A and B are shown apart, each in its own frame.
Chain A
Amino acid sequence: MVAATDNLARPRKKPSFRPRGLSAQRMIGAAIIAIVVALGILAPVLGLTDPNESSMDILVGPGAMHWAGTDELGRDVFSRVIYGARVSLLVGLGVGIFATVVGVPIGVLAGYTRGKVDLLIVQIIDLFVALPALILALLITAIVGSTAENIAIVLGFVMWPTTARLVRGQVISVREALYVEAARASGGSAFWIMWRHILPNVVRIISAQFSITVAFGIFSSASLSFLGLGVPPPTPDWGTMVREGAQYLSFMPLMSIAPGAAVTLTVMGFYLIGSKND
């Protein structure tokens, strides 16, 4: 109970804020990505068994020699999973780069010019957004052939509208702010200030979307491989590995589950960094 004469002289502190951008979620995502990328890059020097070398030890379970066992050709699963990271990361990054490189300028163009050009671009974007991405990707891959580069380009082509739309939205709101500011402030200084404040924000959003696009790229290219339409063998690729391992699920589940878990973790890493949840 508070008495009337209660002297609440102690100064109250305002609640402290954690520095932005360092949420637990982001850190987990960053950690995962760091590990995967490191493994992918360092794969050749880690002293792993050659991932393509077949041996006589077919379908052996996990043990000291082969940490995750061997597949139906006697190849070491663990090393194949690690090497598989290279292709997946390359394709994923390719998708991200393509989508960003194409999407950002188009988005800027649409947002900046408005009018007819904008209308046209928005129509195109809306068209793409609703369409089944995988179907398109499958069709186009069937036509142009499935190599790592092609897959990256095709998937990037499917994703650029999303990036473009995001960028366009940002550009539009920047424009509104600029006009308002310019109306009030005096001359060039207003633009410079807004540029310095708005640009970091836009960059942050673009990089978040980049991350999500990479996640999508890895996800989809693995799906394509699983369907048998991805990167051709013998390059170790996670999706293909899951597919081949599915036949031996009853007695060598690790053949499918190991690469599948790798895909999931990697996708999760990129997703966690890029998405804004609580």
Chain B
Amino acid sequence: MLGHITRRVLLLIPNVIAMTFLLFATVTYFLGSPAAAMLGQEASREDIAALNAQYGFDRPVIIQYLDWMWRALQGDFGRSYTSQQLVAEALWPTIPLTIELSLWAMAIAVLMTILLNSLPFARRIVSAITTFLAVIGITIPNFMLGVCLIYVFAVQLRWLPTTGWVPWSEGIGKHLLHIILPAVTLSANYFGSFTLVYREEYRAAYERLYIKVARAKGLSELRVSLVHALPNAILPVITYIGLSLGPLVGGAVVTEMVFSMPGVGRLFVGAIGAHDFPVMLAIGILVIIAVMVANLVSDIVYASINPQVSLG
């Protein structure tokens, strides 16, 4: 098993390099040198050239890429053009928030999916409601759902705060209150798609012979449903979770904007608006790497759970 993992990781590296280089090259090529932006409208050509040379923007792309990667591996992502702050410093505190939000959203989506779709009781009604919720979840854009939830729960009912974020240090209760709405908003889409996949698999599992055999053994319906049907239905969902990690990042970006949360997403959007090249690049590349690694992890998790998949 370890050998297989090592092999997958090694295979990952060229992919990562290819993708990140592509990204780097594109951004660098199109944005050209930011020197003009930095120096303002009246900068002379010589000034621009001098700045370029100083920052090394006149070197071939490959060299720039390697240089950037080398520095990045040491934790140096350069400086933000707009705030002149070290990118690493600006980026670091935002990461935990985004990760936490994503984890909550995934957890909610998975739990709700399993809960609403596995119980052998009141099938017809629950199924209809769940389908409705699933379709809404998939089609409603994050921002619309977020806005609606804010309107209902924060503005009208005043049960929850509207926006913002409270770190753990200032109190668990407050922190959780602030994170409920964003987490639910982000989870909706995935609840929708997971439900549709899971339900299909669950139904398929029930038609298998081993369910009949389980019943024939004299097991209770509840046990048949939880011990025999559920584990088999969940497996494909795990793969699906892996595939959802990419879109999840996009969703997190929007959600953070809706709820004004100081996460990676908000930083990214700001950087895009201001053409803040180093920040954009750093986040873009990190996200790509993170998603690829997460995919690999989910593949490994799947393989370790499913005894039929032989590793290596």
Q: Given A226-B254, A268-B135, verify A130-B291 contact (CB < 8 Å).
A: yes
Whether A132 lies near B247 (C-beta < 8 A) is yes
With A228-B269, A253-B151, A253-B155: A260-B139 Cβ-Cβ less than 8 Å: no
**Which of A133, A246, A261 counts the most B-chain CB atoms under 10 A from its CB?**
A246
Q: Are A133 and B141 touching (Cβ within 8 A)?
A: no
Q: A272 to chain B: which residues have CB within 8 Å?
A: 135
A243 to chain B, nearest CB (A): 8
Alpha-carbon separation in the docked complex, A133 to B253 (Å): 12
The answer to whether A249 touches B273, judged by C-beta atoms less than 8 angstroms apart, is no
The smallest C-beta distance from B194 to any residue of chain A, in angstroms, reads 14
Which single residue of chain A is at the shortest CB-CB distance from B135? A268
Contact B150 A264 (CB under 8 A): no
B109 to chain A, nearest CB (A): 17
Which of A60-68, A73-81, A139-147, A199-207 lies at the interface?
A139-147
Known: A130-B292, A222-B141. A260 touches B273 (CB 8 A): no
**A interface residues, tally (CB under 8 Å):** 43
* Residue in A135, A141, A229, A250 whose CB lies within 8 Å of B287: A135
Is the Cβ of A264 less than 8 Å from the Cβ of B144?
yes
Nearest-Cβ distance from residue A170 to partner chain B, whole angstroms: 20
Contact flag A260-B147 (CB < 8 Å), given A142-B275, A228-B269: yes
Complex CA–CA separation, A36 to B297 (angstroms): 43
Interface centre among B147, B150, B268, B295 (most CB of A within 10 A): B147
**Residues in chain B near residue A3, CB distance under 8 A:** none
A 242-260 binary contact with B (CB < 8 Å = 1; else 0): 1101100110010011001
Residues in B with CB closer than 8 Å to A250 are 155
Residues 229-273 of B, flagged 1 when their CB comes within 8 A of A and 0 if not, give: 000000000000011011111110110011000000000110011
Contact B144 A249 (CB under 8 A): no
B243: nearest chain-A partner, CB-CB:
A130
Is B138 part of the contact surface with A, judged by Cβ < 8 Å? yes
Residues 122-161 of chain A, each 1 if its beta carbon lies under 8 Å from chain B, else 0: 0000010111111101111111100000000000000000
| Cβ-defined partner of B257 (8 Å) among A142, A226, A253, A261 | A226
In the complex, A245 Cα to B150 Cα: how many Å? 13
Say whether B284 faces chain A, with CB atoms less than 8 Å apart: yes
Neighbouring A residues of B135 by C-beta, 8 Å: 268, 271-272, 277
Cβ of A85 within 8 Å of any chain B Cβ, yes or no, is no
Chain B nearest CB from A139 CB (Å) reads 5
Are B147 and A257 in contact, with the CB atoms below 8 A? yes
Q: Mark B271-285, 1 if CB is under 8 A from A, else 0.
A: 011010000100010
Question: CB-CB < 8 A to B151: which residues of A?
Answer: 249, 253, 256-257
B269 x A138 contact (CB < 8 A): yes
With CB as the reference atom, state the residue of chain B lying closest to A141.
B272
Q: Is the CB of B144 within 8 A of A143?
A: no
Answer whether A135 and B249 are a contact pair too, CB < 8 Å, given A143-B30, A226-B254: yes
Query: Do the beta carbons of B139 and A268 come within 8 Å of each other?
Result: yes
Given contacts A226-B258, A260-B143, A267-B141, 7 further A-B contacts (CB under 8 A): A133-B246, A134-B250, A134-B254, A140-B26, A227-B254, A268-B136, A271-B139
> Which residues of B line the A interface, CB within 8 A?
15, 18-19, 23, 26-27, 30-31, 131, 135-136, 138-144, 147-148, 150-151, 155, 196, 242-243, 245-251, 253-254, 257-258, 268-269, 272-273, 275, 280, 284, 287-288, 291-292, 295
